[in-house]
Amino acid sequence: MHPPAPDAPILFFDSGLGGLTVLGPTRALLPTAPIVYAADYAGLPYGKKSDEELAARVPALLGRLVERYQPRLAVIACNTASTIALGHVRAALDLPIVGTVPAIKPAAEMTKSGVIGVLGTEATVRQPYVDDLSARFAGGKTVLRHGSPGLVTGAEAKLRGEAIDPEVIARAVAGLRDQPGGEAIDVVVLACTHFPLLKDELQAGFGPGVALIDGAEGIARRIAHLTEGQRWPATAAPGIAVFTCSDDRLPPPLAALAPYGIGSIETI
Ligand code: DGL
């Protein structure tokens, strides 16, 4: 295989704007990397979809995007899509694929009380993948899970500059705290890439005794490692955002994406 051309982009993929929380730390490590940020707005929220639907939808859509933008590497910046479809995507596409999976391992290393919370989408928290991670890395600890679709809507609203319903944060916190043993939670894994966008609100909700962690920095390091030695442009060019759209779901204003180095929006 030829080494990628300097202008070959990194493709980020999510159902919505959550993947920006992975794009941010990646840009910090690779400041001139060309970026294509794809959001499947027509399919948002993934957390409400069946495993079968996502296992078919995500590889098909990524296949179209890879054909169109010829990336050097693709990042599934979505826990729901990764825990369900990573294997299918890797089998279907011939380029390096980086996934996003719940940061249960570092949480297990960090907890002192032995009780960890996992906050994700409804689809992610029911995955056997999460059972496997818990069994492998959090043996002897208690892992409590809660699926919160409201936080996805809240994160999208925040980036569009809209107010967040405080009830949404309260319900997500109670979803973990009110389970048996939940009062002892001292680490919460933000297992949806949308949720770090609400980190301040969630931190206030859980209180100062709870650490919130996500996998974004680790994913950024993995991307930098996999592209080590490759050539990049000398200066950064504005990134492109690509949205699938439906009648009731239109792309956000460019101003919401500009802080992440995005300079234009396309629809497919
Ligand atoms: N950002 C996604 C994740 O990490 C999912 C949001 C959704 O579409 O439900 O799981």
Domain ranges of the chain: 10-100+217-267, 104-214
pLDDT at residue 192 is higher than 90: yes
- Compute, in angstroms, the gap from residue 238 CA to the centroid of ligand 1: 25
Residue 209: pLDDT above 70?
A: yes
Identify which of 12, 14, 118 to mutate to test ligand 1's pocket (most ligand atoms within 8 A of the CB): 14
Q: Among 80-84, 217-221, 248-252, whose mean pLDDT is lowest?
A: 248-252
Length of the chain in terms of residues written: 268
Q: What is the mean pLDDT of residues 32-61?
A: 97
Name which CATH class applies to 10-100+217-267. alpha beta
- What pLDDT shows up at residue 2? 79
Q: Radius of gyration (Cα) for the chain, nearest Å? A: 18
10-100+217-267 and 104-214 share one CATH topology? yes
Extract the tokens encoding 13. Answer: 């993929």
pLDDT reported for residue 246: 84
Taking residues 124-141, what's their average pLDDT? 96
Choosing from 17, 37, 46 the residue with most ligand 1 atoms within 8 A of its CB, the one to mutate for a pocket test is: 46
Band (249; pLDDT cuts 50, 70, 90): confident
Give the separation between CA 185 and CA 63, rounded to whole angstroms: 40
Q: Is 245 a catalytic residue?
A: no
The CATH class that applies to domain 104-214 reads alpha beta
User: Does 18 contact ligand 1 (Cβ within 6 A)?
Assistant: yes
Q: What is the pLDDT of residue 250?
A: 86
| Distance in angstroms (rounded) separating the CA atoms of residues 83 and 130 | 8
